Amino acid sequence: MDKNQFDSLFSTTGITNVIQRPEELWILVQAIQAISAKRMLEIGTANGGTLKFFEQVAGSGGRIITVDSAGRSFESVPVDFSNPLCDIQFIQGFSQAPETIEKVMQAVGDEPLDFLFIDGSHEYEVVKADFDNYHGLVRPGGIIGFHDVNCPTVKRAWNEINIPHQSKVHHDLGLGTGIIKL
């Protein structure tokens, strides 16, 4: 996806469905394109805006698992996924609940993820638990992305992350995007 395609998709997906500023999402899209990400896990589907961009990057043969809190169904997501470009599996449940973690583990199977995106909560404990529960599913050379790193509670969790990695970058645009390349 080039910048013109990105801008076009952003305008058709709608600002109300993408809960990120275009420039911070573009940085994330470029990072996952750079590693040719095909297998992804998104924590925090919300309106499906970022999922639509991840779907475009994963493309044919890609697989995305997306988790959102209990009480929300994939059918209630306002972005259209009626004809997906890749396999998308929605798991309904709180990301830190044991039954949700088990469903994610089963969905991931034996093949590691290329990309993990943590954007399900602004609560320190939840962000930290999401990282602790799921970062081990990402392959060496893969990426872990965080949204809302400028939020004090998310920033606290971000600052405490201490795992072996190639790079750890905080982009200070909008609500902040953090990218860890393993």
* Structural tokens at position 138: 């990402």
Total number of domains in the chain:
1
Work out whether strand 87-92 and strand 63-68 pair parallel, antiparallel, or are unpaired: parallel
- More confident position, 70 or 171: 171
% of the chain beyond a pLDDT of 70: 96
pLDDT computed for residue 16 by the predictor: 60
When pLDDT is cut at 50, 70 and 90, the band that residue 15 belongs to is low
Does residue 13 register a pLDDT over 90? Answer: no
* Structural tokens at position 80: 């259209």
When pLDDT is cut at 50, 70 and 90, the band that residue 107 belongs to is very high
* Structural tokens at position 148: 């809302």
Interval 129-152: pLDDT, tens = 999 999 999 999 999 999 999 999
pLDDT computed for residue 178 by the predictor: 93
Give me the chain's average pLDDT, please: 91
When pLDDT is cut at 50, 70 and 90, the band that residue 173 belongs to is confident
Task: Give DSSP secondary structure letters for 94-110.
Answer: -TTSHHHHHHHHHHHTT
CATH code for the domain in which residue 120 is found: 3.40.50.150
Answer whether 155's CB lies under 8 Å from 11's CB.
no
Task: Give DSSP secondary structure letters for 104-164.
Answer: HHHHHTTSPEEEEEE-S-S-HHHHHHHHHHHGGGEEEEEEEEEE-TTSHHHHHHHHH----
Interval 80-106: pLDDT, tens = 888 889 999 999 999 999 999 999 999
Interval 18-77: pLDDT, tens = 777 888 899 999 999 999 999 999 999 888 889 999 999 999 999 999 999 866 677 777
* Structural tokens at position 168: 């750890």
Range of the domain at 80: 3-181
pLDDT computed for residue 70 by the predictor: 63
